[in-house]
């Protein structure tokens, strides 16, 4: 089963805690065969992520922790520089552990690169997990845009969002 992730970054502490639990629960369901997938077990789980800070990295780490394989989609050559410096060690570790890296071919990070990466990610997966509050994207290439692309291409979307939670202004 090939599963991708898209989601809001910069979540508040309480929302982050709840979302982390939802992501872990989803990955566990795939690796144990109780999820929407074929139930191939740990070895059959391939997680596809852009490994941005937040849900992308939590998902990637959970996939690896459950014995799955990680594939990374890089939005741009300069993507790492656009991420918070505090997250560079995690990004570097996950990139190093990736079984495969997919590149958009773009150089500079930004809305077009993020949308291209979202499309490339969706094109690689059987199902998309979306850490999404259901609201419109705050900019081109945001979570809502990736969800829309997945739905337009008949890729099932499983929304992971805590009931009653809201994004703060920092969230992407």
Token pair belonging to 166:
């809201």
- Tell me, yes or no, whether 46 lies in a domain: yes
Q: Which domain holds residue 87?
A: 2-159
Q: Which residues contact 16 (CB under 8 A, 6 or more apart)?
A: 54
- Tell me, yes or no, whether 164 lies in a domain: no
Instruction: For residue 16, give the CATH number of its domain.
Output: 3.40.50.450
pTM attached to this predicted model: 0.91
**How many domains, in total, are found in the chain?**
1
**Which tens digit of pLDDT belongs to each residue from 40-84?**
445 689 999 999 999 999 999 999 999 999 999 999 999 999 999
**Which tens digit of pLDDT belongs to each residue from 105-150?**
999 999 999 999 999 999 999 999 999 999 988 888 999 999 999 9
Is the Cβ–Cβ distance between 59 and 8 less than 8 Å? no
Concatenating the DSSP letter of every residue in 60-113 gives HHHHHHTT-EEEEEES-TTHHHHS-GGGHHHHHHHHHH-SEEEE---SS-SHHH
């Amino acid at each position: 089963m090939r599963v991708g992730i898209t989601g809001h970054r910069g979540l508040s502490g309480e929302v982050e805690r709840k979302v982390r639990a939802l992501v872990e629960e989803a990955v566990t369901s795939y690796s144990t065969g109780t999820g929407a997938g074929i139930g191939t077990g740990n070895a059959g789980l391939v997680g596809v992520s852009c490994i941005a800070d937040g849900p992308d990295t939590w998902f990637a780490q959970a996939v690896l922790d459950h014995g799955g394989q990680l594939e990374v989609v890089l939005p741009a050559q300069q993507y790492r520089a656009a991420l918070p410096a505090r997250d560079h060690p995690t990004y570097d570790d996950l990139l190093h552990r990736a079984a495969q890296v997919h590149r958009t071919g773009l150089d500079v990070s930004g809305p077009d690169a993020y949308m291209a990466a979202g499309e490339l990610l969706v094109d690689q997966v059987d199902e998309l997990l979306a850490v999404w509050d259901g609201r419109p994207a705050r900019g081109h290439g945001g979570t809502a845009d990736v969800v829309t692309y997945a739905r337009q291409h008949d890729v099932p979307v499983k929304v992971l969002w805590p009931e009653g939670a809201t994004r703060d202004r920092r969230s992407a």
